[in-house]
Structure 1
Amino acid sequence: MRVDDALLLGAVSNLRRDTGLPVGFAGIAGPSPRMRLTAFLGNRGTALDGLSVRAGLGLGGKALALTRPVVANGYHSATTISHDYDEPVREEGIHSVVAIPVVVRRRVRAVLYGGLRDEAVLSDRTITAALHAARDLEQTMAVEDEVEKRLAQARPLAEHQEDAAPRERLREVYGELRALAGQVADSALRARLDAVCENLTGAATAAVRLAPRELDTVALVALGLTNAEIAHRLGLTAETVKSYLRDAMRKLDANSRLQAVTHARRLGLLP
């Protein structure tokens, strides 16, 4: 899926926050050996805005080609990069830069940059913090890709869920979506997933409402997972999963795991 501009800008914001660097920006990498700089924070002008960077050229182009971070302390005198983009970098007043590729499924989807304007060098701690920002973006994008894949599977199944085979597959896909939702830290993406799952079940009209984590848990119980397996999928402890399941069973007036799933389906909380 296409890199969302708001998601990219959020990653730049996180990079600046975590590194303390005064300027951050990012480029979207397409299928061609180029990327375009689109997201900026802390910039002084528009010299870099919309710049098309070719793979292998400049700092970001080198990161794009090598699929690994590249650092230039003293950018304008660096001998390890080409200097095809010196003029816009100079106009922005940047002295040292780190460029980090965002790699999802072995393909560079974006490059994050962080820069200093004074003549200090980028410390290892700063570079590590920038790497963490890129890894967080990679994880978010990987989850979004998986969500889109599961949604594409769910749509045709939802149209034929009166048939036994599509209905069972829809239930599997729904459970996988709930598991993905449990991994999402971004509140907006989580809300989107919850809305999609409600559309697949009609849960908006249900007489009983489960909290998102309770619904995640019951959906995975429906797939036959144990508490330990659910905990692993959702990044929780087994005790926490047990607590969510207990609360869900109370709301559903259920005395067993199977009964909780049956009642949830009858109420339209699960497909």
Structure 2
Amino acid sequence: MSFETDTPIERRILARSLETLRKHAGMDMVFGGPVHHGAAAMEITDLTGVRTRSAVNLVVRNGEGLGGKALMLARPVSVADYISSQGITHVYDHAVRPEAIETLAALPIIVDRTPRILIYLAARTHVRLGDRWFDSFTPLVRRLERDIAVEDEVRRRLSLMRTTAEADRATLSRADLYDIAQELTNLADQIEDETLRAKVEAVGNRFAPVLGSARSQEPPTLLRPREVDVLEHVARGLSNREVAEALGLLPNTVKSYLKSAMRKLHATNRVQAILAARERGLLR
């Protein structure tokens, strides 16, 4: 069973947040990346608003430069005139100068006392950054911290289930399998990233009981052929976009078919719909 994605948690969460951060900050550039080995270093992997590629894949070490200072102190730091600042080392000036950065702030995203992402907010002019400016980022920072914590918990639970439940699947009762599938459904509902959510749902589908001849005695539910097609693809772990591509539909059409199928099956989410469809013999 595989539930990993090709891109680390931190990069996916950062990539989808860059433009929101830039608009909120009112800055010219936002860039950053995941923190490695506790807080030993970070790598700049994702950027927006840049003019050059001078900072791409730059590794910033703890204590070096403004970002390294933020890692060392585990709190936000800033400089109003980067090039002339005396409060930081200038080992990364070769990456900063081509972008003509004047004002720079470094914002660590910390989960369980460990920095996980370091975000830079940069302007090519002088900008006054006070406590009120930094405080305005608190809701965004809390959301990023929550997203990382949720995905950490998803992986922890999936790993635990993989090593315990799947190994003993032959001895688990139908009720046990249903409980596992339901727990995974609840976890999936907390995930914003569509690709990871689909993968978690796919793992839940694998634990969902397939009744065969012992199907529910509920009255038959009539689904349209396309609704069944969509559910079958969702059960394989495909996202709405991937289902749309596979079936030659628009993503909004896929959402419409899913919503209709869920209503007919009295389900509140995708995994519940798949469970209900299997109960009724509508899916293999």
TM-score bracket for this pair, using the shorter chain length: 0.5 to 0.7
**For the residues of structure 2 that align with 1:86 and 1:112, how far apart are their CA atoms?**
17
CA distance in 2, matches of 1:252, 1:135: 34
Comparing 125-134 with 35-44, which one deviates more in the overlay? 125-134
Please give the alpha-carbon distance, in whole angstroms, between the structure 2 residues aligned to 1:130 and 1:84.
28
Shift of 1:10: 1.6
Where does structure 2 lack aligned partners over 5 or more consecutive residues?
224-261
In the alignment, does 2:34 pair up with 1:22?
Answer: no
- The residue number in structure 1 matching 2:193 is 186
Equivalent residue, structure 1, for 2:245: none
Does the 8 Å CA contact 1:161/1:167 hold for their aligned counterparts?
A: no
* Partner deviation per Cα, 1:217-254 (whole Å, 9 max, x = no partner): xxxxxxxxxxxxxxxxxxxxxxxxxxxxxxx898469x
Judge conservation of contact 2:102–2:123 (CA < 8 Å) in 1.
yes
Question: What is the deviation of 1:4?
Answer: 4.9
TM-score (norm 1): 0.68
- How far 1:113 sits from its partner (Å)? 1.0
Partner of 1:111: 118
Cα separation, 1, equivalents of 2:185 and 2:102: 46
Q: Aligned in 2, Cα 1:104/1:166: closer, same or farther, shift over 3 Å? A: farther
From 93, 101, 114, the counterpart of 1:94: 101
Superposed CA RMSD in Å reads 3.6
Structure 1 residues 86 and 197, CA, compared in 2 at 3 Å: closer, same or farther?
same
Task: Flag structure 1 segments of 5+ consecutive residues without an equivalent.
Answer: 210-247, 254-259
2:128 is the counterpart of 1:121: yes
**2:15 equivalent among 6, 9, 12:** 9
Distance 1:149 1:268, change over 3 A: farther
Whether 1:267 aligns to 2:279 is yes
Residue matched to 2:169: 161
Q: Is the 8 A contact 2:178 2:209 kept in 1?
A: no
> 2:80 matched to which residue of 1?
73
1:31 and 2:37 matched = yes
1:66 is displaced (CA, Å) by: 1.6
Deviations 1:95-128 (A, max 9, x none): 1111111212221122011111112223555434
- Alpha-carbon spacing, 1:73–1:172, altered in 2? closer, same or farther (3 Å): farther
What pairs with 1:245-256 in structure 2 (closer than 5 Å)?
251=265
Among all aligned residue pairs of Structure 1 and Structure 2, give the percentage whose two residues are the same amino acid. Answer: 32
Mapped partners of 1:29, 1:268: distance in 2:
48
| Structure showing the higher helix proportion among its residues | 1
